[in-house]
Structure 1
Amino acid sequence: MAAQGRRTQRRNQVLSREQIIDTAIELLDTGGEGALTIRALTERLATGSGAIYYHVGNRDELLDTVTETVVTAAWATEPTRAPATPEDEIRVVALALFDAIAAHQWLATRLILQIIRNPVGPVTVGIFERIGRQVGALGVPRASWFDATSALVHYILGAVSQNAHIDGDTSGVDADADREEFFGAAAAAWQELDPEDYPFMHAIIGQMSEHDDREQFLTGIAIVLDGLTHLR
């Protein structure tokens, strides 16, 4: 038993928390949440499950940790030049989340679950603090800070989650279809609609096929920010 304890201790010393987190992110990126199991981690890292639990806790705790790690890294890559206005800062924070989710498809679901299940967690608090400070700086009355900030956060997470779904989430969408194929198929289907019954749908077919996701995302933020000015 003593020898086994010494082997476990040596293994824990060699295996770092960062290695586990990095490997977990690799598994999530390649196979989604279903690919991240303690068994898969132990096989990939050639270690025992005890070492995993020792460093990062159980699977749910690990998922929270990797979510925080990815979001923190996304914000760390923000421009070194300080944004000129509160609106610019909100766009920077929002685009950092947009790009992080584009790179890590599983992140959208985890962010939403963080907001719902762990309102005092570092990810939830970090998002609301960074957005909320700028809402205050915009001149929104203090009594409306929570509603205004929640509206922005909900738009940001909802929009980036939709883009993540289009780009390859397996729920109801062909995982092998790329973005161009997805919108091409949608445009073809809309083209078949009766133009007298659906004049708007026919009018936007070209716009839908050619739109830029990031620009559309920023347009949505601009609309929300414009609405917030009426709360002053």
Structure 2
Amino acid sequence: MLSREQIIDAAIGLLDSGGEGALTVRALSERLATGSGAIYYHVGNRDQLLDTATETVITSALETESSQAVATPEEEIRRVALALFDAIAEHHQWLATRLTLQIVRNPAGPVTVEIFERIGRQVGALGVPRASWFDATSTLVHYILGAVSQNARMDGDTSGIQPDMDREEFFDATSTAWQELDPENYPFMHAIVGQTKQHDDRDQFLTGIAIVLAGLTHLR
């Protein structure tokens, strides 16, 4: 008998393989060898299915992360951030966009509430004054979502750059273009050319988290 979980798993498979465009009721019906009525009965319409798929992936990522022992608030924030980073990297075809939409459109939804609660508790534990909790937590969440979304688009969607250009080729081309700039007018760009080609996205992401956390100490 077809279950809700089977439908969601199949939907995530379609999304991972071809992005949002690949997820249609017809494609899902064919994959599950069922009629569209069964899909609508279990998960509702396509938008509801996309929301449910997003909730399923994010909830699973955060549950896996929370099973580990945590020593400090900073470490917990980094682990939550990396759980989101890794989930979006794994589902780069679609998850970044859907996660952002959920947070914007459904501030009372389980995804938004869970992310803000998990990070917000640690902001309080860092000693940030209560009056600054919302601004501080929002800043962290905005950085996390912005950074992981940019990384996901680099991995999964290079349209607008070159359709057949992968990440390494993109940064090689970028470095070459920056090297051709006038060094007198653009000394900083010349100074970071080597770093651009060699940087690790995950390490860069964690550096950003560290910068934000260091800034929060001034709110104490």
Pair in the same fold by TM > 0.5: yes
C-alpha distance after superposition, 1:97-138 (max 9, x if no partner): 000010001111011101110000000001000000000000
Q: Are 1:59 and 2:46 matched, yes or no? A: yes
| Matching residue of 1:47 | 34
Shift of 1:197: 1.0
| Matching residue of 1:150 | 138
Does the aligned pair in 1 maintain the 2:103–2:112 contact within 8 Å?
yes
Aligned with residue 98 of structure 2, among 110, 130, 135: 110
Shift of 1:83: 1.3
| Matching residue of 1:177 | 165
Aligned length: 219
C-alpha distance after superposition, 1:133-186 (max 9, x if no partner): 000000000000000000000000000001011112154233432211111111
1:177-196 matches, within 5 Å, as 177-196=165-184
SS at match of 2:156: coil
Percent identity at matched positions?
Answer: 81
Does the aligned pair in 1 maintain the 2:54–2:95 contact within 8 Å?
yes
Alpha-carbon distance in structure 1 between the residues aligned to 2:42 and 2:53: 13
Unaligned runs of 5+ in 1: 1-13
Aligned with residue 68 of structure 1, among 49, 55, 64: 55
TM-score after normalising by structure 1: 0.92
Alpha-carbon distance in structure 2 between the residues aligned to 1:135 and 1:111: 22
Alpha-carbon distance in structure 2 between the residues aligned to 1:44 and 1:173: 33
Q: Are 1:217 and 2:201 matched, yes or no? A: no
| Matching residue of 1:29 | 16
Alpha-carbon distance in structure 1 between the residues aligned to 2:48 and 2:178: 44
Counterpart code for 1:117? R
Alpha-carbon distance in structure 2 between the residues aligned to 1:170 and 1:207: 21
Shift of 1:227: 0.4
Unaligned runs of 5+ in 2: none
Counterpart code for 1:193? L
Q: Are 1:164 and 2:136 matched, yes or no? A: no
Alpha-carbon distance in structure 2 between the residues aligned to 1:180 and 1:23: 31
| Matching residue of 1:10 | none
| Matching residue of 2:7 | 20
Does the aligned pair in 1 maintain the 2:158–2:166 contact within 8 Å?
no
Alpha-carbon distance in structure 1 between the residues aligned to 2:164 and 2:38: 36
SS at match of 1:83: coil
Counterpart code for 2:202? R
Does the aligned pair in 1 maintain the 2:102–2:109 contact within 8 Å?
yes
Counterpart code for 1:27? L
C-alpha distance after superposition, 1:14-47 (max 9, x if no partner): 1111111111001101100011111111111111
Aligned with residue 140 of structure 1, among 113, 124, 128: 128
Which is greater in Rg? 1
RMSD of aligned residue pairs (Cα, Å): 1.1
Does the aligned pair in 1 maintain the 2:29–2:36 contact within 8 Å?
yes
| Matching residue of 1:38 | 25
